[in-house]
């Protein structure tokens, strides 16, 4: 590990954590154990994903409601436009608003047939995330976070088209972007430079994915246009049946990436937790965060 020297650590670091809604009782326990473990770091917000094609509308909402009722955390609900008319998406936004949601991660989403298949917008629907941001802002003054793609979205013909979409999302009211995961920090840095040159000044928060399972991550990366550097594949080589060593290597890889970003001046991090706390907890500790921290204390988590 590099020693971070004079880099800003601890109180100047801002983190957020992403969770997915549980599909079973066991998964619910794992989710809540993870939320409980990470909450004392006082994240800016915790976000809950929205399943492909709106398949998790109720579980997403139920998770958000529980976060609001049982913790002092600030939740953000992911929302997509897949397979839904504007009216239907607006109705979901209204339901979430009534539940107390004031922050959306607004996304277009992927075709129901799966990532990589052609996306056809609903004939009466929002065609992309920029239109969704405008629709949400017209409904209420939500805080809006959107996606950004350091290696460009696979459907974008070029970086200019891709960054133009980000610009439209910002023009319509988005105030933060979280990136797709990446492993090459130079790629992220070059992307932020391009974004700034395009006149976009919102925070471009790196999305950090701890590699719990290299094969799965490599497969997913292939679908969503994130590249896997050779050195990463080499580090996990031969560890498929050795979970303990894999976990240690994953911690070293993630810590190295995050501390290098700190040296490059990054102070905000979003973690794709995959509903597992341990690795993310260790990385937050390395960032100088210490629990408990005012603002993120869990008041009670009944029946976790
Ligand atoms: P947009 O911002 O609308 O577009 C992304 C890019 O694709 C743009 O740069 C644009 O140039 C290009 N593009 C879009 N449409 C076209 C087109 N018709 N032709 C050419 N280029 C086009 N998915 C979920 O289902 N649920 C989630 O909870 C979820 N959370 C996510 C969180 C983050 C931080 C990120 C980065 C992604 C998430 N995703 C989620 C995945 C996301 O839905 C997909 O990446 C999807 O393919 C694009 O959605 P978007 O909002 O980025 O699209």
Q: What letter would DSSP give residue 67?
A: H
Q: Which residues contact 39 (CB under 8 A, 6 or more apart)?
A: 46, 71, 73, 296, 297, 298
Task: Say yes or no to pLDDT of 102 above 60.
Answer: yes
Task: Say yes or no to pLDDT of 12 above 50.
Answer: yes
- Over residues 131-161, the pLDDT tens digits come to 999 999 999 999 999 999 999 999 999 999 9
Task: Say yes or no to pLDDT of 51 above 80.
Answer: yes
Distance 73 CA to ligand 1 centre (A): 26
- Over residues 16-27, the pLDDT tens digits come to 999 999 999 999
C-beta 297 within 6 A of ligand 1: no
Asked if omega into 292 is within 30° of 0 (cis), the reply is: yes
Which of 56, 155, 204 to mutate for ligand 1's pocket (most ligand atoms within 8 Å of CB)? Answer: 155
Q: Are 15 and 271 in contact (CB under 8 A)?
A: yes
Q: Which residues contact 242 (CB under 8 A, 6 or more apart)?
A: none
Q: Are 73 and 100 in contact (CB under 8 A)?
A: no
Residue 139's pLDDT is what? Answer: 93
Phi, psi of 66 (to 5 degrees): -65, -40
Residue 118's pLDDT is what? Answer: 86
Nearest CA to 188 among 253, 260, 282, 109? 260
Distance 108 CA to ligand 1 centre (A): 5
Residue 147: helix, strand or coil by DSSP?
strand
- The model's pTM is 0.94
- Looking from the CA of residue 106, the nearest atom of ligand 1 is 51
pLDDT level of residue 8 (50, 70, 90 thresholds): low
- Over residues 202-249, the pLDDT tens digits come to 999 999 999 999 999 999 999 999 999 999 999 999 999 999 999 999
C-beta 159 within 6 A of ligand 1: no
C-beta 20 within 6 A of ligand 1: no
Residues 278, 34: Cα–Cα separation, whole Å: 8
Q: Which residues contact 93 (CB under 8 A, 6 or more apart)?
A: 79, 104, 135, 136, 139, 140, 142
Biggest CA–CA distance in the chain, Å, is 55
Task: State the Cα torsion 27-254-258-50 to the nearest 10°.
Answer: -30
Query: In the chain, where does DSSP find H-type helix?
Result: 25-38, 57-70, 86-99, 129-139, 159-171, 185-197, 214-224, 230-236, 243-263, 278-286
Residue 116's pLDDT is what? Answer: 78
Q: Which residues contact 66 (CB under 8 A, 6 or more apart)?
A: none
Q: What is the mean pLDDT of residues 276-287?
A: 95
Other beta carbons within 10 Å of 144: 25
Instruction: Point out the residues that are catalytic.
Output: 18
């Amino acid at each position: 590990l590099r020693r971070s020297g004079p880099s800003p650590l601890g109180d100047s670091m801002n983190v957020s954590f992403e969770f997915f809604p549980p599909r079973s009782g066991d998964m619910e326990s794992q989710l809540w154990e993870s939320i409980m473990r990470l909450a004392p770091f006082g994240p800016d917000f915790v976000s809950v994903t929205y399943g492909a094609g709106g398949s998790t509308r109720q579980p997403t909402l139920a998770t958000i409601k529980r976060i609001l009722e049982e913790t002092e955390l600030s939740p953000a609900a992911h929302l997509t436009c897949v397979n839904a008319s504007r009216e239907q998406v607006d109705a979901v936004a209204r339901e979430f608003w009534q539940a107390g949601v004031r922050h959306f991660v607004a996304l277009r989403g992927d075709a129901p047939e799966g990532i990589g298949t052609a996306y056809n917008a609903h004939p009466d629907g929002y065609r992309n995330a920029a239109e969704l941001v405008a629709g949400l802002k017209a409904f209420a003054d939500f805080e809006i976070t959107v996606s950004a793609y350091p290696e460009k979205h696979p459907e974008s013909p070029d970086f200019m088209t891709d960054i133009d979409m980000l610009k439209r999302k910002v023009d319509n009211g988005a105030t933060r972007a979280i990136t797709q995961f990446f492993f090459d920090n130079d790629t992220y840095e070059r992307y932020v430079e391009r974004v700034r040159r395009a006149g976009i000044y919102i925070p471009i928060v790196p999305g950090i994915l701890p590699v719990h399972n290299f094969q799965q991550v490599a497969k997913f990366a292939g679908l969503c246009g994130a590249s896997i550097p050779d050195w990463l594949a080499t580090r996990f080589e031969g560890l498929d049946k050795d979970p303990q060593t894999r976990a240690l290597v994953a911690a070293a890889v993630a810590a190295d990436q995050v501390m290098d970003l700190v040296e490059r001046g990054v102070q905000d991090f979003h973690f794709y937790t995959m509903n597992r706390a341990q690795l993310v907890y260790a990385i937050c500790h390395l960032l100088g965060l210490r629990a408990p921290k005012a603002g993120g204390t869990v008041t009670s988590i009944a029946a976790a």
